[in-house]
Structure 1
């Protein structure tokens, strides 16, 4: 259900300049609730006690990029207040620093699911680091996250922040070179 009242500081888990907003969903002071939620990509105003004021954002309503001033940011929205439509839009954002898909072949696709099973199309990810960054970016907000390889086989799955696949034994083998290790490919 979509919200019909403006988000305020009470709806934020952190506010002020002493928190980093990079990689977080933020509330922008605005005149309508559907235009307040953005994902912060980066900017010299995104860090703790920022050196500047510019923040680069993605609208969780339209998916469009925006440049705002840090003073327009009320704070980081509490994850439980993020509406489903915003979660679906967030699931379509590639991590900061992701390689250009025009020049790089994707190795993985990332999916994020709502509790009722709805999801948006997969997001292409070119490296293992991009895949892990996608998971970290989505984890605070999504019910279930899945990474698949190019053959659409699941290589990693989390639900409510808990690892479902691979198993703990497989992860330990990954870190044990004597056993030959495992890879995500």
Structure 2
């Protein structure tokens, strides 16, 4: 269900200059709820008690980049209030500092799913760190997250913030095998 009324400070988990908004979904002061939700990428105004006022954002309605003033940010949206359409748009954002796809070969693709199974196309990720950063930026907002390798095999899956694949037992076995100097398939 999509929201029809304007977001306010009551819809935020944190407000004011004391909160770090980088890597969070933020609410802008605007009279149209469709134009209020953005994902904060970075900027000298993004940190807690910022040294500047510029924040670089991505619209969760259109996917377009925007440069705004920190004073336009009401606060960080409570994750449970993020509409499905915004979750799908958020799933398409690559992490800050991701390598340029024109010059680097992707190793992974990241997917985020809604509870009803809907998802948008995968996001290319070039390094293990980019893949982990994608999971980190999505896990607060998404029902299920999956990372796949170039052959489209699942290498990591989380649901409701809990690791599903690989299991803790599989991770322990992999760590033990790497300490023993080899790995065997069972």
| TM-score tier (shorter) | over 0.9
Partner of 2:168: 168
1:110-135 deviation per Cα after TM superposition (whole angstroms, max 9, x unaligned): 00000000000000000000000000
Query: Is the contact made by 1:8 and 1:74 (CA closer than 8 Å) also made in structure 2?
Result: yes
Partner of 1:18: 18
| Equivalent position SS for 1:171 | helix
Residue ranges of structure 2 left out of the alignment (5+ in a row):
none
| Equivalent position SS for 2:172 | helix
Query: Is the contact made by 1:57 and 1:68 (CA closer than 8 Å) also made in structure 2?
Result: yes
> Any residues of structure 2 matched to 1:81-96 within 5 Å, and which?
81-96=81-96
Partner of 2:117: 117
| Equivalent position SS for 2:130 | helix
Partner of 1:58: 58
1:27-80 deviation per Cα after TM superposition (whole angstroms, max 9, x unaligned): 000120000000000000000100000000000000000000000000000000
> Any residues of structure 2 matched to 1:15-164 within 5 Å, and which?
15-164=15-164
Question: Over aligned residue pairs, what C-alpha RMSD do you find?
Answer: 1.2
Q: State the 1:175 CA deviation.
A: 4.2
**TM-score by structure 2 length?**
0.95
| Equivalent position SS for 2:80 | helix
Cα distance in 2 between the residues matched to 1:180 and 1:143? 37
Query: Is the contact made by 1:174 and 1:181 (CA closer than 8 Å) also made in structure 2?
Result: no
| Equivalent position SS for 1:99 | coil
Cα distance in 2 between the residues matched to 1:141 and 1:169? 27
Residue correspondences, number: 182
Cα distance in 1 between the residues matched to 2:49 and 2:98? 26
